[in-house]
């Protein structure tokens, strides 16, 4: 993967880890100026790399009463300290 993809995947992973309610594909695509297909590929690549990810279809009022594919991270990130 190229550097741009790697960085986007890392930021997506951090955003998912920091969120209790997850992010929708649409939200992540807008946040990263990418297509939903690109975010889906990133999500799949992170899962194949061993990160514990979960996808749910939820009904949410914030999405104007529509069902949304919401992505979650169900693990912990390694943090480096000095």
pLDDT band at 77 (very low <50, low <70, confident <90, very high): low
pLDDT band at 57 (very low <50, low <70, confident <90, very high): confident
Helix (H, G, I), strand (E, B) or coil at 55: strand
Cβ contact 71:55 at 8 Å: yes
Range list of H helices, the chain: 3-18, 25-31, 36-48
Answer yes or no: is pLDDT of 13 > 80. yes
Report which of 81, 71, 55, 58 is spatially closest to residue 18, judged by C-alpha positions.
71
pLDDT band at 23 (very low <50, low <70, confident <90, very high): confident
Segment 40-44 mean pLDDT = 90
pTM for this structure? 0.73
């Amino acid at each position: 993967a190229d550097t741009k993809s790697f960085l986007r995947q890392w930021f997506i992973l951090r955003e998912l880890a920091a969120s209790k309610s997850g992010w929708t594909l649409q939200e992540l695509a807008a946040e990263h100026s990418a297509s939903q297909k690109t975010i889906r590929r990133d999500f799949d690549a992170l899962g194949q790399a061993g990160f514990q990810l979960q996808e749910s279809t939820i009904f949410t009022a914030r999405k104007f009463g529509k069902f949304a594919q919401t992505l979650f991270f169900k693990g912990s990130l390694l943090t480096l300290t000095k």
